[in-house]
Structure 1
Amino acid sequence: MQASPPRRTQGARSEETQRRLLEATIALLLERGYTRLTTPDIARRAGVSRGALTHHFANKEDIVVRAVANQLERVTAGLRAFCDDCPPQQMNTDTVVDYLWSMMAKGLFYVTLEYLPEARANDQFRQQLLPVVQEFHAALDAIWTRLSDHYGVAPDEARISMNTTMCLFRGMIAQTVLREDPDYFRRMLDYWKTHLRTSLGGKRSKEKAA
């Protein structure tokens, strides 16, 4: 007789419930936006009761903050893995730009666009988000410092170049909301790749030649 699988612990079930709720929150933020987001809809999408949601999260703002934190942790882990796993000969500035654009444009910054207006007007919500976003930016700066070693530039120069890249992408992605023009955005990406190829990648090439 085949033995039945062991029952999950209460802690494991609780973690699974929270995971489903956080994933449902991000999905609904992308689909409906912050103002149309409701906790009953989140519970329904996650396939759990409203009571289960309120057991883990105090209110809408609380679950959004936790969902954003979870999303940013996963994005940061993915970026670290990209830097660790990418062969050195392929870690050129074009590859980094393509990865960052894909990371930002496939939902990450669209979610940000949803909660930013509320954070501007709701100080309590803003105060909850600040440490989450600051932790993400600190992790990014640490990754940019690692890239500085690869490109042979000062850490501060790499951080400025890559943070400028992220700010450029934020503006471009915001513009896609009202402008469907892939060629327009592709040409800007190509322009920026050329710039970084010279400012960062070019220095490594000169160093090798020397």
Structure 2
Amino acid sequence: MTAARKTRQRGERPAQARSIATRDKLVRAALDVILEKGYNSASTTDFSEAAGVSRGALLHHFPTRSAIIIAAMELLLEEATAEIREVAAKVALTEVSLGDFIEFLWEMFSGRVFYLSLEFINEARTDADLRAGMMPVVKDFHAALDSIWIEFERQAEGQPQARLVALNMTVCLVRGMGVQTVLKDDPAYFRSMIETWKVILPQLLADGPEGVARLDGSGAAGVAGQGA
């Protein structure tokens, strides 16, 4: 290899690293701006200013607004998946309690991850191009969740299908509750459901759907009454 080629390659590597760093800054800035201003009020100019890069740099990486939006949602869900995987592994190894895992999911799906996802999903409902771009990202997210639940089951005892359904039910529960928090300011109401689910979920994981039927009335209902 000639000296000139070696010099050129050394110069290319820092340039590539800067390009990756710039792209990452833009995507993270887009998430921050959308969370602060909302999807429709957040412009690509806001994204570039928040990232501290030029408009030209943004267009180099993301020629269209939908391109950076899809990249932002992909990053959001990738990082959420990594967090869920880490905590689920600790639950399977009994390093974290199942109750704490429910609390973790509730915090995730009623906070930043949830509100950003809600912004994206709401816009995708009426924007066919955006929806088409997001669907593979969301599909990958749910496939990753299923793989986490399967690994969860592999490390713990129980019925595989029951675990898959029950843990996905948990995500659906906290996500639905997250939607309610937008217009319902009633922490005790949400707390009662979380505490009730802490009673129900272990039964589902251990015994499958039949486990719920064996819960005595004082179990779930009693916990719900305490939080109301």
Hey, what's the Cα distance between the residues in 1 that align with 2:90 and 2:203? 24
Hey, what's the Cα distance between the residues in 2 that align with 1:135 and 1:84? 19
- Structure 1 unaligned segments of length 5 or more: list them: 1-5, 204-210
- Whether the 8 Å CA contact 1:40–1:50 is kept in 2: the answer is yes
The amino acid across from 1:84 in the alignment is A
Hey, what's the Cα distance between the residues in 1 that align with 2:74 and 2:21? 17
Q: CA deviation at 1:105?
A: 2.2
- Correspondence for 1:154: 159
- Correspondence for 1:130: 135
The amino acid across from 2:39 in the alignment is Y
- Structure 2 unaligned segments of length 5 or more: list them: 1-9, 209-228
- Correspondence for 2:21: 16
Which TM-score applies when normalising by structure 1? 0.87
- Whether the 8 Å CA contact 1:151–1:200 is kept in 2: the answer is no
The amino acid across from 1:114 in the alignment is E
- Correspondence for 1:192: 197
- Correspondence for 1:142: 147
Structure with the bigger RCO (C-alpha within 8 Å, sep 6+) is: 1
- Whether the 8 Å CA contact 1:39–1:60 is kept in 2: the answer is yes
- Correspondence for 1:176: 181
- Correspondence for 2:72: 67
CA RMSD of the aligned region, Å? 2.0
The alignment covers a number of residue pairs equal to 198
Please say which structure displays the higher CA radius of gyration.
2
Q: CA deviation at 1:149?
A: 2.9
CA deviation map 1:61-97 (0-9, x unaligned): 1101001101111111122222334572334421221
Hey, what's the Cα distance between the residues in 2 that align with 1:198 and 1:158? 10
- Whether the 8 Å CA contact 1:25–1:64 is kept in 2: the answer is yes
Hey, what's the Cα distance between the residues in 2 that align with 1:127 and 1:52? 25
- Correspondence for 2:114: 109
Hey, what's the Cα distance between the residues in 2 that align with 1:22 and 1:11? 17
Hey, what's the Cα distance between the residues in 2 that align with 1:13 and 1:85? 35
Aligned match for 1:50, one of 55, 76, 82: 55
